[in-house]
Structure 1
């Protein structure tokens, strides 16, 4: 089931096997094994594929016919990606060390950014 799901999603996205392999950091032959049911991705690679195609791992594995993530699952996936960002990790470690004036300025800048976005 995984092989047919991957191939269908790749074709739908108009991607080549080479482009998918590059995305995953593997060879084209390695990716082709997934589509030809000659090998299976590890959990990390399966998660990358699900994130890329914006589907659940259950959909890739044929455990559900519903490709899209439920809103909570999508939020959880976005949150996991966010907390695993090394640049944000530094940000969150430094933020609590800031004094009140710095935090006030930061809030003010953030409000300006949000206001600009909503124009």
Structure 2
């Protein structure tokens, strides 16, 4: 019986995906709300479970799936991690849902890059070490960017 339910559930998800695909003329044109709904159902989660994961109300998450509200970046990070997809995929800037291990391992935060620069582990575009003045200016710019990003959150 459980195999039957899982087959029906899979067919239902595939049918929904096909409907959305036909509605928008291609998988690359799926809207964020459609991808959220498809990924949630693919992972057999309720809207309530996803809302709890994000620490918001069920109706708040429902608004994301209805396209009435856009999730903040922190929620996109959580959703992408839970659904094992990239944020770019959710936002439609990439049609590739998953990053390979090598790509994932190469991701670094601006703070990581800033620390590498401060410790002379990054070279200038010509392959030489930054001059003290250039290094100081780059660090100042990165510190400003880090502060601005933290204020946005």
Q: TM-score, normalised by structure 1?
A: 0.61
Structure with the greater alpha carbon radius of gyration: 2
C-alpha deviation, 1:20, in angstroms: 0.2
Runs of 4+ deviating beyond 3 Å: none
Which residue of structure 1 lines up, in the alignment, with residue 83 of structure 2? 53
Which residue of structure 2 lines up, in the alignment, with residue 66 of structure 1? 96
Which residue of structure 1 lines up, in the alignment, with residue 47 of structure 2? 17
**Separation in 1, partners of 2:106, 2:68:** 31
CA change 1:69–1:29 in 2 (3 A) is same
Q: Calculate the aligned-residue CA RMSD, in Å.
A: 1.7
Structure scoring higher RCO (CA < 8 A, sep ≥ 6) equals: 1
Residues paired across the two proteins, number:
79
Unaligned runs of 5+ in 1: 81-119
Which residue of structure 1 lines up, in the alignment, with residue 119 of structure 2? none
- 1:1-119 equivalences under 5 Å are 1-75=31-105
C-alpha deviation, 1:76, in angstroms: 5.1
**Separation in 1, partners of 2:96, 2:64:** 21
- Corresponding residue SS for 1:41: coil
Unaligned runs of 5+ in 2: 1-30, 110-153
C-alpha deviation, 1:49, in angstroms: 0.7
CA displacement 1:63-107 (0-9 Å, x = unmatched): 111111132343256x87xxxxxxxxxxxxxxxxxxxxxxxxxxx
